[in-house]
A = this chain, B = another copy of it.
Amino acid sequence: MTGKKKLKVHFKPDNVEIVVDQGENLLQAAIAAGVRIYASCGGAGTCGTCKVQIEEGEVETTRTDKISDQEFSKGIRQACQSRVLSDLSVYVPVESRLEKAVLAREQKQVSEVLATGWRFVPPLTKYFVELPSPTLDDNTSDLSRLLRGLRQRYRLSNLSIDFHVVQKLASTLRDGNWKATVTTLVTAVKPRAGDRRRPRVINIEAGDTRDKHHSLAFDIGTTTVCGQLLDLNRGRVVAESMAYNGQISYGEDVITRIAYCQKTGGLKKLQQAVVATINGIIEELQAQSKVDAERIGHLMVAGNTTMTQILLGLNPQHLRLTPYTPVANFFPPVPASSLGIKAGDHAQIFLFPAVASYVGGDIVSGIVGAGVHQRKVLTFFMDIGTNGEIVIGNSDWMVTASCSAGPAFEGGGIKHGIIAAEGAIEDVEINPSNYEPKVGTIGSVKPKGICGSGLINAVAELLATGVIGQNGKFNQNLPTKRVRPSADGYEYVLAWAKETQTGSDIVITEVDIDNLMRAKAAMYAGCKTLSKSVGIGGCDFDQVVIAGAFGSNIDVKRAITIGLLPDLPEERFIFIGNGALLGARLTSFSTDLLDDARRVAQMMTNLELSENVDFMNNYVAALFLPHTNAEEFPTVSKRLASKSNNNPKERIKV
């Protein structure tokens, strides 16, 4: 302890007060108080992002050119350049807050939709305390001493304590000479307004370890698992990695995985497989970042309902049989160590709540990440994959459904279909004069096969150039060798054997086209059925948010051409990429969004389509390119009509 004068600094709008020595740096004081000020240059004074307004009291400031005369006269100062001279009241404007930095960073990668209006208050928080050593006059227990310190310095009360913290408390406090860093986790969502949270103390470390403060965001997909290591002080991604879900060896889709779980030891095997995948990703993240596993205190995990249940060792058997009930749609926090996940011993896993058996935490996470629940505009949210999940709604209500699209979008059930990896044909253009294709592959290498987005593009081109009709059947009379009969009906050769890696022709068959039509019909019928269920009827959405790695690669115009996406102006479509990971990441930064996730899961109404008559009718009506009802796709119909009427050789711009 120095002999310096003690001063109070009060920060607004957080309403946090801290006692500091006279002369303390104001940015450091804010950090110590848990007030999140954005200092992109790290406190060098060069960025000007840490501006605060001194409402009362006196600071000594080194003025730089980042502060205008007008600002200076209003009491605006750079926190990093200011020292505390008296008791202060300091206002931190929204532009200087850390959430602003997070949003700015995210916006670059994602799109214009993103959850906003949240405060940067991670559910996992670290607090540093310096405690007086015990004396005969003050020999309260170590635990009471710690709680008193937290209450006095951070106004923290109403804490619950994990027993393993009590177990190491005495030695940790003494090892750090009565200086320690406590990690708290907020898990319980406020059940009603006015209820106070009860943060859980999950760890204590000797000394000041606030600078080592990390968590993980995970998207556990049926096919791939993506993980990000986050820095909770700076609100950014430190490292990122992905891997195929190790469960793939036991079945490609959720149905085969659920079936596998019914074998003796099957569930355990699948659980271990995904845990191994997660641990592999964590190792990779650590290798990239040099962050110790012990510094990772939290995992925010979004997965579909089946993946979530298997990860937790909850038998998914009832998910697959009518009436399709999950064991739980929200989960208590689970210690990472209890599942064999190699993060900190104290690390807890938060699983995003699910809506139903086939609308999982990944969708809830995507909705929250994209801020769909915050906006009044009518949104159509879709995550396209084997199970296309769709949501319609806004901040007031949401309906959701899962459409069994089948594996076509992921290249499954397609003769030369492959997943979207190097060598997959992704882009296709067909010359309307000679029906010759120009193909582009991922990695610009020789083609190996065709991926889902490539298939959509190819079929849209085949339709636009009249190679196939609106019923998906080939025009057998065209002057090209590319269209030819085969064992599976007619087919179109996208690449000749000599041009491919496989040494065989790569083709699209009528069966492939049929599979794609069924997949897109399921999605579109799902959308129509949901829409009708809430009395809207049509598909005139203010915005269409497309999530999922697959979704990011599709060409909107061509997807509209085949009738996968509704016929709306292109500017209404927004791609957010991996929405599940986005939501998991943002929620790791803000307890506000954690609350939102629970609320969103509860407000969504699930519609089971599997035995819904309306859905079946819509589905049959959609088994056409783009649709049996031309009026639902006016711009496509107009283009197709203009082509057939005017110039059969001219390629329709799709």
Contacts and interface: CB of A to CB of B under 8 A. Distances in A.
Given A136-B608, A324-B139, A163 B329 contact: no
Interface string A305-334: 000000011110110001111111111101
A325 B139 contact: yes
Copies of this chain, whole number: 2
A195 interface: yes
A166 interface: yes
A131 B587 CA distance: 34
Contacts of A167: 312-314
Given A136-B611, A139-B356, A357-B139, A170 B322 contact: no
Interface in A337-363: 338, 354, 356-357
B143 A328 contact: yes
A354 B608 CA distance: 55
A157 interface: yes
A196 interface: yes
A140 interface: yes
B170 A329 contact: no
Contacts of A134: 323, 325
Nearest to A329: B141
A238 interface: no
A334 B163 contact: yes
A174 to B, nearest CB: 8
A421 interface: no
Contacts of A378: none
Interface in A131-190: 134-136, 138-145, 157-158, 160-163, 166-167, 169-171, 188
Given A136-B608, A195-B195, A198-B198, A163 B325 contact: no
A633 B50 CA distance: 74
A265 interface: no
Given A163-B332, A167-B313, A315-B170, A139 B327 contact: no
Nearest to A354: B141
Given A136-B322, A195-B196, A334-B163, A169 B327 contact: yes
Q: Most chain-B Cβ atoms within 10 A of its Cβ — which of A135, A327, A611?
A: A327
B191 A330 contact: no
A332 B166 contact: yes
Given A136-B608, A196-B195, A142 B325 contact: yes
A139 to B, nearest CB: 4
B136 A328 contact: no
A350 to B, nearest CB: 12
A322 to B, nearest CB: 6
Contacts of A331: 163, 166
Nearest to A187: B160
Contacts of A338: 163
A167 B325 CA distance: 15
Nearest to A330: B143
A492 to B, nearest CB: 41
A170 B327 contact: yes
A158 B193 CA distance: 12
A551 B611 CA distance: 75
Contacts of A136: 322-324, 608, 611
Contacts of A145: 325
A322 B166 CA distance: 21
Contacts of A315: 170-171
Nearest to A157: B191
A354 B143 CA distance: 12
B160 A332 contact: yes
A327 B166 CA distance: 7
Contacts of A192: 158
Interface string A193-207: 011101000000000
A524 B416 CA distance: 95
A157 to B, nearest CB: 7
Q: Most chain-B Cβ atoms within 10 A of its Cβ — which of A167, A312, A332?
A: A332
A318 B195 contact: no
Contacts of A356: 139-141
A166 B135 contact: no
Contacts of A144: 328-329
B161 A325 contact: no
Nearest to A146: B328
Contacts of A323: 134-136, 138-139
A158 B197 CA distance: 12
Contacts of A198: 188, 198
A325 B141 contact: yes
Contacts of A139: 323-325, 356-357, 606, 608
Contacts of A608: 136, 139
28 contacts: A136-B324, A136-B608, A139-B357, A139-B608, A140-B356, A141-B328, A141-B356, A142-B326, A142-B327, A143-B330, A144-B329, A145-B325, A158-B191, A158-B192, A158-B195, A160-B188, A160-B332, A161-B332, A166-B328, A167-B312, A167-B314, A169-B327, A170-B318, A171-B315, A191-B196, A194-B194, A195-B196, A198-B198
Interface of A: 134-136, 138-145, 157-158, 160-163, 166-167, 169-171, 188, 191-192, 194-196, 198, 312-315, 317-318, 322-332, 334, 338, 354, 356-357, 606, 608, 611
List of 3 A-B pairs having minimum Cβ-Cβ separation, nearest first = A143-B328, A141-B329, A139-B323
Given A166-B331, A167-B313, 17 more contacts: A136-B322, A136-B611, A138-B323, A139-B323, A139-B357, A141-B327, A145-B325, A158-B192, A160-B332, A163-B332, A163-B338, A166-B312, A167-B312, A169-B328, A170-B317, A171-B315, A188-B198
